[in-house]
Amino acid sequence: MRNLTNPLAGLYLVTPDWDDTEQLLKVTEQALLGGAAIVQYRHKFANAALRHEQASALLALCRRFDIPFIINDHVALCMTLDADGVHVGGTDVSVAEARAIVGSEKIVGASCYGDLQLAHAAFDAGASYVAFGGFYPSRVKMYPVTTPFDIVSTACAAIALPNVVIGGMTAENCQPLITSGAHMVAAISSVYLAADPQAAAREFASLFERRMAALA
């Protein structure tokens, strides 16, 4: 079991539903070179063999960069590969169940949508971070765009956990959320569909660097 010292902060990269493993790795590596701080493997339509292949390859890539690698939903795969953690949503296993399976050292993230009570419950159940959104329309995920912006500042004041914001994030529209206290910004299409994924990731990463400099 790894002892991760990397803080949960910065660009939180979420993979698209790509079956082309070579292309997935190529773009992910470019994003890591640009400063992505965390990678979550999420492929809702992959079969078990492809999921294992892609997650294994992405884990090895993240190990090279010494950043956390998180698997969406599939707790058993996380344990099989010894990934750094899991992320669970409202239709997946509960935070408490995930924490009981992965143990105390791994990361457990929880989707809380626009519901602060879900975030409080996730904290009580042993989550490592909470995720809020969607804030903006997404090109790749369908969900209600109803999350209020002030949930970030409220969560920062009330819940002693890092938070990640998700939903149509770009380097421009995420800035008010970072100013409000968002620790991480999750991005899929803004990086994976960018003409220059490394530059796109660097633009996100620079927002957090400027924030840290302002707080210093």
Which 8-state DSSP code applies to residue 90?
A: T
Quick one: 10-215 is in which CATH superfamily?
Aldolase class I (3.20.20.70)
> What span, in angstroms and rounded, lies between the C-alpha atoms of 107 and 113?
19
Q: Is the pLDDT of residue 138 over 90?
A: no
Distance of CA 15 to the CA centre of its chain: 9
CA-CA-CA-CA dihedral for 86, 97, 162, 51, to nearest 10: 10
Conformational region of residue 105, where left means phi above 0, alpha means psi within -120 to 50, and beta covers everything else: alpha
List the structure tokens of 206: 């620079």
pLDDT digits (tens, 9 = 90+) for 21-52: 999 999 999 999 999 999 999 999 999 999 99
> What span, in angstroms and rounded, lies between the C-alpha atoms of 111 and 114?
9
pLDDT digits (tens, 9 = 90+) for 80-94: 999 999 999 988 899
pLDDT digits (tens, 9 = 90+) for 110-132: 999 999 999 999 999 999 999 99
pLDDT value of residue 92: 81
Q: What are phi and psi of 130, to 5 degrees?
A: -120, 150
